[in-house]
Structure 1
């Protein structure tokens, strides 16, 4: 038997339940979960805000642990019992849809997100497809590696696949759960890094993360004007899940500048075509990343000493941990430690 933290109905509280341990099927492995980050998108599953959610639901897609048992065919792919692995938003792909046939697995039309397609990591064990596995470097703890599999890879990929090149002015909007990693990555990638957040009191923290400049979005000078006074941002990485805040910085882009949106908000952004056309600007949404992208993120993080700021609680305290994530009262990433 093993324990899971599950929600029995839409929007309900978490409860601890027991499940029978099952042999992983062909192409799958069972993972002993050592840490699982709590992501704001887990709330989509708890509230059935995406199609196909079946209750009870076990969320969790920032998983780190060790392989506990191999299904048929996984040993031939190089995996062994005891290997340290992470599984993120990319929890496996179908391999046959058009994006998969084009090699663009992260936008698979049948993407297998843990907590949605199968039980997630709010549990002592999780069974996942082998193509979802990312090998964790020795330098990273499980509590560090879990958030890297979703929050970390999303920010890392958003920057490295952007139009920015070393030396370019790159701004990170928001220095919360995503943005505090974004500032660290941007500085390590060689960008002239600007952190944008609410309040003058966050300036010192932004500098500690590696920012070369700080803009208080509540100050007298609009953030877009402040960016233009520096020459305009080649890239703005919008990590804040606030459409109004994102809209307010668009005019801070340089010519051919790129707005990379990773902060989710259902409200529309107020961008008009003229803002884009006259300067050749681009707006791009960016999803997470494949298992190999997660490996790249973790290895880059280990090399440059980049870590998420986390607060860990045991599985029994899942409701407290979840509420701290929702309220924003936690350190930047909440992590459950089932074992």
Structure 2
């Protein structure tokens, strides 16, 4: 593994800068991912434009990430292996300890990082991620095709699932942009 990796970080609001960073070993419950692809989402623009270096260190945006596990931290569940293809979306993994997590509302976790906003994301060659935020990504699906599924795909799937539509029902999709094309 290389001692450094390249990343696009937000140095001030609206400005991305190519930098070289030291490769960091994953901590407890974390994995190091060698990024293969990262989608570009409208929320990334907000993260880039709204960055405040006075409140946080320079941040790497990007929350539609697909790559391979390069290293495992301690206490990572045994289902994750070095070399395995994984994805990470906007919600970076629940803590499984707060009140919301204990009630099964993992999406409302009080201690969950927002990938690309409160922790570094995938506009880089490497990134750290919580193991609890990983999903498996099949090798048969190109990384470039899989990455947008981790944000736009999930948002669209959840909306269609929760609207009550059943197989064979007619639904209207208004607009065929970043989300609409996923719904189709």
Q: What does residue 249 of structure 1 align with?
A: none
Superposed displacement of residue 95, structure 1: 2.2
Q: Pick closer, same or farther for the CA change 1:53–1:103 going to 2, 3 Å.
A: farther
Give aligned pairs, total: 180
Q: What does residue 119 of structure 1 align with?
A: 120
Q: What does residue 177 of structure 2 align with?
A: 176
Q: Pick closer, same or farther for the CA change 1:164–1:53 going to 2, 3 Å.
A: farther
Unaligned runs of 5+ in 1: 184-339
Superposed displacement of residue 78, structure 1: 1.4
Partner SS for 2:50: coil
Partner SS for 1:106: helix
* Contact in 1 for aligned 2:31/2:73 (Cα 8 Å): yes
Distance 2:112 2:27 in 1: 18
User: So what's the TM-score if we normalise by structure 2?
Assistant: 0.91
Distance 1:64 1:101 in 2: 28
Q: What does residue 7 of structure 2 align with?
A: 4
Partner SS for 1:99: helix
Q: What does residue 163 of structure 2 align with?
A: 162
1:30 corresponds to 2:40:
no
Superposed displacement of residue 100, structure 1: 1.4
Superposed displacement of residue 2, structure 1: 0.5
Superposed displacement of residue 49, structure 1: 7.1
User: So what's the TM-score if we normalise by structure 1?
Assistant: 0.51
* Contact in 1 for aligned 2:16/2:48 (Cα 8 Å): no
Q: How does 1:98-113 map to 2 (within 5 A)?
A: 98-113=99-114
Structure (1 or 2) with the greater helix fraction:
1
Superposed displacement of residue 44, structure 1: 1.8
Q: What does residue 92 of structure 2 align with?
A: 91
* Contact in 1 for aligned 2:10/2:51 (Cα 8 Å): no
Partner SS for 2:39: strand
Partner SS for 2:27: coil
Q: What does residue 62 of structure 1 align with?
A: 64
Superposed displacement of residue 53, structure 1: 5.8
After superposition, the CA RMSD in angstroms is: 1.8
Unaligned runs of 5+ in 2: none
Partner SS for 1:158: helix
Superposed displacement of residue 173, structure 1: 1.4
Q: Which has the higher contact order (CA 8 A, sep 6+)?
A: 2
Q: What does residue 322 of structure 1 align with?
A: none
Larger Rg: 1
Superposed displacement of residue 96, structure 1: 2.8
* Contact in 2 for aligned 1:9/1:55 (Cα 8 Å): no
Q: What does residue 16 of structure 1 align with?
A: 18
